[in-house]
Amino acid sequence: MPRPTGPTNPVLRRLVRELRTAGKKQGVKLWLDLAERLERSRRARAEVNLSHLNRYSGERGTIVVPGKVLAAGKLNHVISVAAFKFSAAARRKIMAAGGNALTVQQLLEQNPSGKGVKLME
């Protein structure tokens, strides 16, 4: 019997299904692209440092990371970051800068149209 491919985490699988459904229903390519990126193997998913987010985001921007946010670097402005996972230190630094650390599910509920959201990889 062949081994299963793709993520085996039931929470991640449910999230990918919800992203695909929302993407098709709303006609938003962002959610479809995010679902595809989250379906990759764990090693192929993005790991983004705060310094990278600080460099490529604007004040009060919203960024989604299809993977994990790490704490290297610091934030100089307020941003909202949605990701599948956060390191504890990254979450603290985002909150200390006045930003929001959201799950992808929370972002999908708050902004189903995906307007103003940047995908960071």
CA distance 108 to 74: 26
10-119: which CATH number, 3.30.70.2190, 3.30.1490.20, 3.100.10.10, 3.40.190.10? Answer: 3.100.10.10
Q: Is the pLDDT of residue 95 over 80?
A: yes
Mean pLDDT across the chain: 92
Q: What is the pLDDT of residue 41?
A: 87
pTM > 0.85: yes or no: yes
pLDDT at site 110: 94
At 19, give phi and psi (nearest 5°): -65, -45
Q: Could you tell me the residue ranges of all domains in the chain? A: 10-119
What crossing angle do the helices spanning 29-38 and 10-26 adopt, rounded to 10°? 160
Residue type, 2: P
